Amino acid sequence: MALVGAAALDVMGRLGQFGPARFTMYQILALVVSAFVVWLLVSGRERLPATPLILPAAAFLGAAAISLTFAAERLPGLVQLASLASSVVLALIVMVLMRRPSDGVAVVLGMLGIAAVLGALALLEWTDLFALQRPVIYTSKPVFSLALVSSGVLFALQELISDASGYGIRARVTFGDPNILASFLMTSLLLAIPVIVKVPMSRALRTLSWTGVAIATAGLASTYSRGGLGGLFLGLMLVLVLARGSRVAKAFFLTATVLSLAAIAALVFSPEWIARNIFELGQDASTLNRLYMAQGALNMWLDHPFGVGIDNFPVVYPHYRHPMAAPGIVESHTAYITVLAEMGLLGLLAFLWVLWRFFTITALLPARRSPDIAVHALAVGAFAATAGMCAQAFTYSLEGSKFLWFAIGIGSAAWHMYAEGEQQAPPRFAEGGRGS
């Protein structure tokens, strides 16, 4: 949980910079925890779970390392390789330390708690009342008493809904980019919802958890991230399909999901925003700019089939920028194209291999077959959260996201719990057979 909280600090957790390397609270904590995990493995107190993702993840890191051979600037590439390795190691840490279903439930609900806090701060930022990344409390709205705060919130809501541009303040809270905040909130929600629905818990804890879901969802909406919101909807539909339950229960879940999202959309998004960003998506300037960037990235790969080197996309891309693309952006904004351009076809195939093994074996088997309801819920949540992140990855480069690999780690831990349960189960004999 400390690792998740440190990763959620993002730009506010940066401690210093030396050349291209930035030192953060997450990196220091991850180094300490990694050393602890290595000690556990070497001393024999724990063992490395033999999950289906070990080899694909190693191949992905290997492809990233090989790509440095073709890099024009290797020092930033080495820094980015270390950052990517720390993300993959996070999945390994989760696999080693999360050995019981109760551990997974506690971590997921704790992650939801962090998401609820950030969601509340996102709402304050969205209503223009307070923002962490401003040096002082912002007072463009009345904040002198509880009554005035309430009226300020209502005024901000009314102002935003009637805004012809369709945009309010895109909440960032502790993050440098609202889309990354959206990915964290989306991941937390999709991991937690199956656990809240399926795992037995006290009424007070369930009520508190649903309150956290509501706040985090509202915070997600305040980021205006189409990728994050689309990923949330996709993930919830996967939860509906994979989670066990009667048809009546699933119909209720579907109805509640649609009504909740519709209510949030009505409060947050103006009709102009919905028309421009959904119904007129093909004519939206942001969407067209992403297409231009993707075209330039593909041309880059055609000239460099083995990749230009990890983190060297910004170095080479200006030579391939489409004339209509925004000059100030040097990213493809698509994880799969970024991996292809930087690591070549080998890197993309390794990344897709990780995802293929995760979705077809690692998370799917315990989600469908585990008799333990907590393991089932953890696997469903990990499957949905990873799928949501993969959907958002079409609009943002998330291949090295800590939260993506954290969800992959939870799914891998669920697979290991399921596999251990299968090994400890009593032998099954065919009807009419004999056994002792």
If one compares 310 and 273, the residue with the highest pLDDT of the two is 310
Give the largest CA-CA distance in the chain: 79
Least confident stretch, 18-27, 35-44, 81-90, 393-402: 18-27
Mean pLDDT value of segment 275-302: 70
% of the chain at pLDDT higher than 90? 37
- At position 124, the amino acid (one-letter code) is L
- At position 46, the amino acid (one-letter code) is E
Q: Which of 220-224, 371-375, 393-397 has the highest mean pLDDT?
A: 371-375
pLDDT at residue number 176? 84
pLDDT at residue number 146? 42
In this predicted structure, the answer to whether residue 155 has a pLDDT above a threshold of 50 is: no
185-220 burial, b at 16+ Cβ within 10 Å, e below that, comes to bbbbbbbbbbbbbbbeeeeeeeebbeebbebbbbbb
Q: Is residue 434 part of a domain?
A: no
Of 343, 312, 351, 306, nearest to 330 by C-alpha is 312
pLDDT at residue number 159? 41
Total domain count, the chain: 1
% of the chain at pLDDT higher than 70? 80
Q: Is residue 433 part of a domain?
A: no
In this predicted structure, the answer to whether residue 395 has a pLDDT above a threshold of 60 is: yes
pLDDT at residue number 398? 86
131-141 burial, b at 16+ Cβ within 10 Å, e below that, comes to beeeeeebeeb
The H or E element containing residue 17 is strand 14-18
d(CA 185, CA 429): 46
The two three-digit tokens of residue 422, written as one number: 């299968």
The two three-digit tokens of residue 368, written as one number: 């469908």
Q: Residue 231: which pLDDT band, with cuts at 50, 70 and 90?
A: very high
If one compares 46 and 186, the residue with the highest pLDDT of the two is 186
Q: Is residue 114 part of a domain?
A: yes
The residues, ordered by sequence, that sit 6+ positions from 219 with a Cβ below 8 Å of its Cβ are: 115, 118, 119, 120, 121, 122, 123, 171, 173, 181, 185
Containing domain of residue 274, as a range? Answer: 2-423
Q: Is residue 169 part of a domain?
A: yes
Average pLDDT of the chain, as a whole number: 81
Q: What is the pLDDT of residues 99-145, one digit of tens each?
A: 899 999 999 999 999 999 999 999 888 888 888 876 544 444 444 33
Q: How far is CA 359 from the centre of its chain?
A: 15
Q: Residue 278: which pLDDT band, with cuts at 50, 70 and 90?
A: low
If one compares 153 and 180, the residue with the highest pLDDT of the two is 180
pTM confidence score: 0.85
pLDDT at residue number 83? 86
Give yes or no for a contact between 376 and 367, defined as CB atoms under 8 angstroms apart.
yes
Give yes or no for a contact between 76 and 311, defined as CB atoms under 8 angstroms apart.
yes
pLDDT at residue number 276? 58
Q: What is the pLDDT of residues 161-212, one digit of tens each?
A: 444 333 456 888 888 889 899 999 999 999 999 999 999 999 999 999 999 9
Q: Is residue 435 part of a domain?
A: no
In this predicted structure, the answer to whether residue 57 has a pLDDT above a threshold of 80 is: yes
Q: Residue 21: which pLDDT band, with cuts at 50, 70 and 90?
A: low
d(CA 224, CA 172): 10
Task: State the DSSP code for 175.
Answer: S
pLDDT at residue number 348? 94
